């Protein structure tokens, strides 16, 4: 027994997933990879990648050998990355054990796959509500065996007898993890879960670029697009996303909330086409070629804002939305998205209104000159 006077040292124990993240880096190095980064948390508790030395533009930030990549197959089937991840989570002695142990726990993982159903109406967009409900329905049908004739991989094929006790919540969690972490693209059109790569947080416009499957070195590399100082966070750009896209796909607000005026949500943008199946619209502002076009767009935006104000009026008469246990942060994000949406619409309506006034004044001035 320690004497009563012995100093008591506060031991700050690392979270299990952070210990696993250190082991993940060690595994990549043992497997022949290189890492000029470590995994750490920032002051806000967000985990990310940090440079362990100065890295010049054009140099590798890390390289992950192909043997450490989890290939989730081709891009036809929504559930493949989820099932690939679940397979490793339920495989004793999986070679990806360091990878799956380093995943954020359910309470820190959010996107449209595991959004509580009671929050779905808060998206205030039939497009996003349909998306989230479609994903939920696919997961439910995968769990119930209804997709057995059409799914590329069935649940018992992926996880064996663990399928007997699988819950929808576990499927949603795995779906949320996998869909917010996999990468696809040239030269291989495959959904790849790449350890270490998926520890980098989003920064819009981040210049670092992926190079993979090249010869003579086919490994998966992140190459610095600008100099990175030792200790600096290493970002990755998940795409040029509006805030609604960032929230539903990554559980973050990362587009318009950082710009002044805030950027229109994707679903409010003039180029948004719900049928196109793309989640990216270019952040180009509407530039009317004629006065008629300007008025038409102004009318569209005013009608959109009026619909939202009507929803606000109705919501004010009801009790405030209640957080689901464990999803308190998610509710805050969704309510913040509503505010950003209205601010962005107001700003755009103001801009188009001012364009009209400026055009009128220009005409008046030109007529005076004549
Ligand atoms: C590919 S993972 C990045 C690593 C992740 N932070 C982790 O600890 O495993 C994507 C997730 O990281 C978080 N994330 C990414 N970019 C972020 C940012 N700019 N700010 C806050 N969280 C971010 C979100 O939870 C997102 O779903």
The per-residue pLDDT for range 132-186, each reduced to its tens digit, is 999 999 999 999 999 888 889 999 999 999 999 999 999 999 999 999 999 997 7
- Is a pLDDT exceeding 50 seen at residue 4? no
Q: Is 252 in the pocket of ligand 1 (CB under 6 A)?
A: yes
Residues 64, 73: Cα–Cα separation, whole Å: 19
Nearest CA to 119 out of 369, 349, 320 is that of 320
Is the separation of the CB atoms in 48 and 40 below 8 Å? yes
Question: Is residue 18 a contact partner of residue 47, using CB atoms and an 8 Å limit?
Answer: yes
**Which ligand 1 atom sits closest to the C-alpha of 202?**
16
317-344 residue pLDDT tens: 999 999 999 999 999 999 999 999 999 9
In sequence order, the β-bridge partners of residue 39 are 49
Q: What are phi and psi of 190, to 5 degrees?
A: -130, 155
Q: Is 202 in the pocket of ligand 1 (CB under 6 A)?
A: yes
Strand partners for 183: 192
What's the CA-to-centroid distance between 202 and ligand 1, angstroms? Answer: 7
Burial label for 364, CB within 10 Å (0-12, 13-18, 19+), is: exposed
Q: Decide whether any atom of ligand 1 lies within 6 Å of the 180 Cβ.
A: yes
Indicate which atom in ligand 1 lies nearest the CA of residue 109. 25
Give the distance (Å) from ligand 1 centre to CA of residue 321: 26
Q: Is the pLDDT of residue 197 over 80?
A: yes
Give the three-class secondary structure for 351: helix
The residue contributing the CA closest to ligand 1 atom 5 is 199
The pLDDT-based confidence of 366 (bands split at 50, 70, 90) is: very low
pLDDT at 278: 73
Pocket test for ligand 1, best of 202, 203, 236, 253 (most atoms within 8 A of CB): 202
* C-alpha distance from residue 188 to each of 30, 180, 192, 211, 303 (Å): 25, 19, 9, 11, 44
Measuring CA to CA, which residue among 210, 236, 205 is closest to residue 223? 210
Which of 211, 261, 168 is closest to 58 using CA atoms? 211
Helix residue ranges per DSSP H, 4-79: 16-30
Question: Percent of the chain having pLDDT more than 90?
Answer: 82
Tell me the average pLDDT across 43-68.
97
Which residue in 114, 110, 144, 120 sits closest to 253, CA to CA?
110
């Amino acid at each position: 027994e320690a004497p009563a006077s012995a100093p008591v040292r506060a031991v700050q124990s690392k979270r299990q997933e952070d210990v696993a993240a250190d082991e993940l880096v060690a595994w990549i190095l043992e497997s022949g990879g290189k890492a000029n980064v470590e995994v750490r948390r920032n002051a806000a508790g967000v985990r990310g990648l940090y440079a362990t030395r100065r890295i010049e533009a054009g140099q590798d930030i890390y390289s992950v050998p192909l043997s450490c990549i989890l290939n989730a197959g081709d891009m036809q089937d929504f559930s493949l990355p989820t099932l690939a991840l679940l397979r490793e989570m339920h495989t004793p002695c999986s070679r990806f054990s360091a990878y799956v142990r380093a995943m954020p726990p359910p309470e820190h993982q959010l996107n449209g796959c595991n959004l509580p159903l009671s929050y779905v109406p808060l998206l205030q967009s039939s497009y996003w509500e349909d998306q989230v409900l479609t994903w939920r329905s696919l997961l439910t049908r995968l769990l119930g065996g209804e997709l057995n004739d059409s799914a590329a991989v069935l649940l018992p094929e992926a996880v064996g007898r663990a399928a007997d006790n699988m819950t929808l919540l576990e499927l949603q969690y795995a779906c949320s993890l996998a869909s917010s972490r996999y990468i696809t693209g040239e030269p291989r059109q495959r959904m790849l879960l790449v350890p270490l790569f998926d520890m980098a947080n989003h920064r819009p416009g981040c210049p670092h670029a992926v190079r993979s499957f090249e010869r003579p070195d086919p490994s998966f590399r992140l190459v610095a697009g600008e100099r990175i100082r030792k200790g600096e966070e290493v970002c990755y750009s998940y795409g040029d996303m509006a805030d609604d896209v960032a929230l539903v796909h990554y559980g973050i607000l990362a587009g318009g909330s950082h710009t002044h005026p805030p950027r229109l949500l994707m679903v409010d943008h003039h180029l948004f086409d719900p049928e196109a199946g793309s989640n990216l619209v270019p952040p180009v502002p509407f530039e009317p070629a004629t006065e008629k076009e300007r008025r038409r767009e102004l009318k569209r935006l005013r009608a959109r804002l009026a619909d939202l104000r009507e929803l606000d009026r109705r919501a004010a008469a009801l009790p405030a939305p209640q957080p689901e246990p464990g999803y308190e942060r998610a509710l805050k994000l969704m309510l913040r998205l509503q505010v950003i949406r209205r601010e962005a619409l107001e700003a755009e309506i103001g801009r188009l209104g001012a364009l009209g006034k400026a055009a009128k004044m220009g005409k008046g001035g030109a007529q005076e000159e004549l």
